[in-house]
Amino acid sequence: MSIGFLIICLVLMTQCQNTTRYKALELNYVDLSDNDTITAQPVLSKPLKLRKSDAVDNVIIVHSEEIINPMLSGIGGAFNEQGGESFMSLPSDKRKALAEALFNPETGAGFSLCRTAVGSSDFGLSAYSYSETPDDYEMKYFSVERDKASVLPFINAAMAENPSLKIFASPWSPPGWMKISGKMDGGTDDNREQNMLINDPEIHKAYALYFSKYVQAYAENGITIDRLLIQNETDMNPKYPGCNMYPEQMADLAFNYIRPQFEKDDLKTELWAGTFRDVDQVGSRPDAQNFMALEGAMEIDGVGLQYCPPKTLLELKAKYPELKIMHTEGVCNRGQNSIQQAKKRFSEVANWLNAGCENYCYWNMVLNETSTSAWDWPQNSLINIDRQTGIVTYNPDYATISLFSRFIRPGDQSVKVDTPKDIIAIAVKNESRLVVFLQNATDSALKQNIDIDGQLSTVELPSNSVSAVVFKMKK
């Protein structure tokens, strides 16, 4: 038997293995045809038998061995004080049902990485910090007592459903007395340089202690803060709580104050830069790139981004291949909570995951019946709660994000997908299954060809749907 013949046999055997590696398991989808179709359990499932296809067009190609990100941390959303107050207005059985729908990995969406604010966000009931006494450099009067009314119970209810839930936190503003303006909120274009942390070693030392006290206080209340991001939206000067922070000041805080304080207090919380934006508007700066260009920046545990085009992630990944990047806030819109906005979530999530991000974090999970902040700022949410009637409304965004979370789990790997023009797809895998996410935004069922490592099949996608096509690994 010749060597050439053996090589040919090996090639044919490899091709045969590739074409039989996965078998169809089920089609999971959410119906985005009407607002009234959204329920607490929006994901529909049915067994799937893919038919073989000889099609050469309209094919998405999944390269299951080309890894984009080797360790995904999953999908989640943000806790806030307004949502916590609304959550606590419900009777205990409705609180349990809502927490199960969002966080239970077996019977609900199973959110796995969620955000909270250090003090007040723009969806706090008002501006507040944990250090309201001016010049309290030693944090003698530090207190998270206000959070015990709603924020802490909401997070604790989530963790009761999913004990593996990870939490990351960031401040919208330092305590007012630590800022040049003396206030947490009230930013305008005219006072941008006033809306900053005072650049003084004693202030920086006190702020580092503030963060340490926060992590410890939450731990005492049963909540581990896994990651701290130093400042939300570093280029913003909003009327709600905010802080304009340059990369140099963030690096100084991180490496000369916060990290030494965490080490002194034996805290394991990771320290991440951000949250950075990169958007085309007045006042926006490419702060993520500027931060990473600083000497020693790679000592940071990772970088948090929001409102960035895919090219920002791709540029950072190309220049810093080992850099961990997380998504910190989804597009918030203006409170319309429409089906069309929910349909756009598919491409938003795809852009982040396919560019190498490890997660996707929706913004407000829960808001009250007004959907409007204390600063008259309306936004979308996954769920609205009417505090007077107790009616819980699951919005269209919830359906899309719930599907993603059900089938993108911590530890999954995102893999490369090639698609024809105007088609978007996402693929993730673990040791037992591969999931391909697809969208059909038309009013008719649509056949889509899928090639996984040379195995070509066709699946029919329901109209107005986002789908997760699950393939089981053959043993």
Give the separation between CA 347 and CA 42, rounded to whole angstroms. Answer: 19
Q: In percent, how much of the chain has pLDDT > 70? A: 93
> Which among 1, 28, 4 is positioned nearest to 467, based on CA atoms?
28
- Complete domains list, the chain, with CATH: 22-69+415-473 (2.60.40.1180), 74-410 (3.20.20.80)
Give the separation between CA 96 and CA 6, rounded to whole angstroms. Answer: 62
Q: Does the structure show a pLDDT above 80 at 429?
A: yes
DSSP-derived pairing of the beta strands 166-170 and 227-229: parallel
> Which among 405, 315, 411 is positioned nearest to 356, based on CA atoms?
315
Give the separation between CA 311 and CA 446, rounded to whole angstroms. Answer: 30
Q: Which residues pair with 93 in a beta bridge?
A: none
Please, are residues 248 and 294 in contact by the beta-carbon 8 Å criterion? Answer: yes
The region of weakest confidence among 88-92, 276-280, 307-311, 326-330 is 276-280
Write the CB contacts of 239 (distance below 8 Å, at least 6 apart in sequence).
185, 186, 187, 188, 375
Average pLDDT for 325-353: 97
Q: Does the structure show a pLDDT above 70 at 281?
A: no
What are the tens digits of pLDDT across the range 95-137?
999 999 999 999 999 999 999 999 999 999 999 999 999 999 9
pLDDT of residue 55: 67
Q: Does the structure show a pLDDT above 70 at 415?
A: yes
> Is the pTM above the cut of 0.85?
yes
DSSP characters for 228-294?
Answer: EES-SSTT---SSS-----HHHHHHHIIIIIHHHHHHTT---EEEEEEE---SSTT---HHHHHHTS
Task: Please provide the size of the chain in residues.
Answer: 475
pLDDT of residue 112: 98
